[in-house]
Amino acid sequence: MSVEFGGMGSMVVTMKAVAVTTGGIAGMDGNDTVRNANGGVAPVGVVLNKRNNHAAVQIRGYVRVKYSGSPAPVLGWNRLVTDGAGGLRPEQTGETGRACLVVNLNTEEKTMGLFL
């Protein structure tokens, strides 16, 4: 038997998009609009697809993303913010992150599996 989280509780929405990268972390850019997230902000979600001026953004459910920062995220609940390079990192003093449940850490590849 294997462990599988894909699709569990997922929610994907279509939003207007400027300068987004498929697989990257989306941040708000204006009304109904996302962009590649700047560092230090709560993530909106992960860009799954982009077509013309719109993007499919997963805002809830299991995702696998890159991480950075020191200290690194830990297994369990973390408050995460965007790192400005397409990944997430733990929030620092003065930042407001998003609570995410990290269930898998790959320290060699600097990736984590988490629930948004």
Question: pLDDT per residue over 24-37, tens digit each?
Answer: 999 999 999 999 99
Same domain, 52 and 70: no
**Residues of the chain with pLDDT > 90: what percent?**
89
Is the per-residue pLDDT at 1 higher than 80?
Answer: no
- The domain total for the chain is 2
Range of the domain at 78: 63-115
Is the pLDDT at 66 greater than 90, yes or no?
yes
- Indicate whether 3 belongs to any domain: no
Q: Give the global pTM.
A: 0.91
Task: Compare 87 and 4 and report the one with higher pLDDT.
Answer: 87
pLDDT confidence tier of residue 114, bands split at 50, 70 and 90: very high
**CA separation (Å) from 97 to 20, 50, 76, 78?**
20, 25, 15, 9
Q: Is the peptide bond before 71 cis (omega within 30 degrees of 0)?
A: yes
